[in-house]
Amino acid sequence: MILRGLATDAGSLVDRAVNENVIRLAVTGLSRAGKTVFITSLIENLLALARQKDTLPKLSQRLSKRGTSRLRDATILPAGISALPHFDQAANLNGLSAAEPAWPERTTHLAQISLLLTLTRRSFIGQRLGDRRVRLDILDYPGEWLLDLPLLSLTYAQWSEQTLALLRQSPRCETSADFLTFLTNRRPGDQDSDGLARQGHRLYKAAIEACCAQYGLRYLQPGRFLCPGPMGDVPLLWFFPTDVRHPLVLLPGSLMKLLNDRFEAYKRDMRATFFDTHFRAFDRQVLLVDVLGALHAGRAAFHDTARAIQDITTALRYGSHTSLIADRLAGSRIKRVVFVATKADHVPALLRDNLRYLLRSLSGEVESRQNAAGAAVSYQVAASICSTEDGSATLDGRSVHVVKGRILGEDKVRPFHVGMVPTSMPPDDFWSERFFELPRFRPPPIDPTPGSGLRHIGLDVVLDDLLGDLL
């Protein structure tokens, strides 16, 4: 009996080793970049593809064998005994397809989902081994937390110095006056006091919240100040950056020591609850960037986004080891990266290539670093849920390419002219000082039946770059 059990276990181990690829997909992006919508559309369109709907043409082409698809099935795996919330695909679809459609809520905690693809093998000989399975493990999380990745490698003194240098520049200084005044009243001899620490924390938090809301800035740390997660406003968070003298002296009973201790405890906690436990060991990465949103938000927001992308990618591990064993020992590395400019349905087709070039320029040195490490890198534009149609309109007496859609909360279809989309980092005279938000289009009519597919732009190309070699 025991022997038979062992044989069955060994059999399923061999089956998994030969027939199953488990891919941990990092869906990376700052807050509002479009992660949750991307995951929802990816899953929905892969389910549709397995139901023989041609919703992802580039993948259909790859999977086609003598007129039939090699994708036999796509299934969302049951949540099992996971301690993490399950990504609520059904709730997202219901919201999007409601009579008064709604985009998914902001993500406030971790959620995960796994999708299993079952494929017939390409070669006749391979088919003797049985079907292949590709399991995609996907994690959704609040984008704000991503910026804690570069923070993890800093000391409190380094973080304070960097953060205050930025906070004293325009436009951050305009929202930070109260906090900066509070800092000028601090003295090295200040005693450890929860009252003071909390007051400083509140003022600093209000300053960075205003940087986000009023100027569209994104390089704002720590992430849990903006999105605290399920623990809420715990004492661990009651710290703020402060002017540090060198060398940093941490006298027992001083405010400085309390702030330093909380900063270190915050890093430990983020490592233990997010980065080391859930946000690691990725094999593939899609890096979603709301390039247009950043462009519209103005110079500071655009440069902030660029810096965030560069610092986040610096903190991740790219390339491939020479062997599976090395992978196991050193932790896996990201072997394919697709940068995606999201919400491309705000831009008429003719300008989408500009958006791609701009994305590449914004990512700066990142590509060469990733390439040098042996990772495959590509750049794409996509709209996970296309909510507009291309059209033309007359502007100042001349015809221009626009997109047309219904803005959320309105009934009438309106043209939207995105204006100039530069192909590289814009020069200083490009920027006006105003902060615009992109219009939020109402999603198109959607069939809520799972596997019906969602209208998109370029999602199939992104998925092909990301996963094509596994299909």
Tell me the site size for Mg ion, rule CB under 5 A: 3
CB of 260 to Mg ion, least distance (A): 32
Pick the closer one to Mg ion by CB: 288 or 344. Answer: 288
- Residue type, position 343, single letter: K
At residue 409, the 3 state secondary structure works out as coil
Q: Residue 245 phi/psi, 5° resolution?
A: -90, 150
Q: Contact between 36 and Mg ion (CB under 5 A)?
A: yes
Give 470: exposed, middle or buried? Use CB within 10 Å, 0-12, 13-18, 19+.
middle
CB of 154 to ligand GTP, least distance (A): 22
CB 138 within 8 Å of CB 113: yes
CB of 338 to ligand GTP, least distance (A): 15
Residues 252-291 that bind Mg ion (CB under 5 A): none
CB 180 within 8 Å of CB 241: no
Pick the closer one to ligand GTP by CB: 89 or 107. Answer: 107
Strand-pairing partners, residue 65, are 68
Pick the closer one to ligand GTP by CB: 104 or 150. Answer: 104
CB 78 within 8 Å of CB 114: no
Q: Which does 385 bind (CB under 5 to 8 A by kind): ligand GTP, Mg ion, none?
A: ligand GTP
CB of 35 to Mg ion, least distance (A): 5
Q: Which does 32 bind (CB under 5 to 8 A by kind): ligand GTP, Mg ion, none?
A: ligand GTP
CA trace torsion 251, 252, 255, 260 (10° rounding): 80
Count helices and strands (H / E) in the chain.
18, 12
CB 454 within 8 Å of CB 446: yes
DSSP 229-280: -TT-S-GGG-------PSSP---TTBHHHHHHHHHHHHHHHHIIIIITTTS-
- Residue type, position 240, single letter: F
- Residue 106 has what DSSP assignment? P
Q: Contact between 55 and Mg ion (CB under 5 A)?
A: no
CB of 133 to ligand GTP, least distance (A): 28
Q: Which does 37 bind (CB under 5 to 8 A by kind): Mg ion, ligand GTP, none?
A: ligand GTP
Pick the closer one to ligand GTP by CB: 36 or 221. Answer: 36
Pick the closer one to Mg ion by CB: 342 or 388. Answer: 342
Pick the closer one to ligand GTP by CB: 203 or 344. Answer: 344
222, two tokens: 């720590």
Q: Which does 383 bind (CB under 5 to 8 A by kind): ligand GTP, Mg ion, none?
A: ligand GTP
Pick the closer one to ligand GTP by CB: 160 or 387. Answer: 387
CB of 276 to ligand GTP, least distance (A): 20
CB 457 within 8 Å of CB 344: yes
Pairing of strands 284-289, 336-341: parallel
At residue 420, the 3 state secondary structure works out as coil
Residues 6+ apart with CB under 8 A from 83: none
At residue 326, the 3 state secondary structure works out as helix
Q: Contact between 176 and Mg ion (CB under 5 A)?
A: no
Binding range to Mg ion, per CB under 5 A, among 33-41, 57-65, 430-438, 455-463: 33-41
Q: Which does 384 bind (CB under 5 to 8 A by kind): ligand GTP, Mg ion, none?
A: ligand GTP
In which region does residue 366 sit, left (phi positive, over 0), alpha (psi from -120 to 50) or beta (all else)?
alpha
Pick the closer one to Mg ion by CB: 143 or 216. Answer: 143
109, two tokens: 């905690």
Where does this chain bind ligand GTP (CB under 6 A)?
A: 29, 31-37, 103-104, 106-107, 142-143, 342-343, 345, 383-385, 387, 440-441
Strand-pairing partners, residue 21, are 134
Binding range to Mg ion, per CB under 5 A, among 30-38, 209-217, 229-237, 274-282: 30-38
Pick the closer one to ligand GTP by CB: 255 or 286. Answer: 286
The alpha-helical segments, DSSP class H, found in 290-430 are 291-297, 299-315, 324-330, 352-362, 366-372
Using CB under 5 A, which of 28, 45, 97, 107 touches Mg ion?
A: 107
CB of 84 to Mg ion, least distance (A): 15
Give the CB-nearest residue to ligand GTP: 143
Q: Which does 216 bind (CB under 5 to 8 A by kind): Mg ion, ligand GTP, none?
A: none
Q: Which does 200 bind (CB under 5 to 8 A by kind): ligand GTP, Mg ion, none?
A: none
**What is the binding site for Mg ion (CB under 5 A)?**
35-36, 107
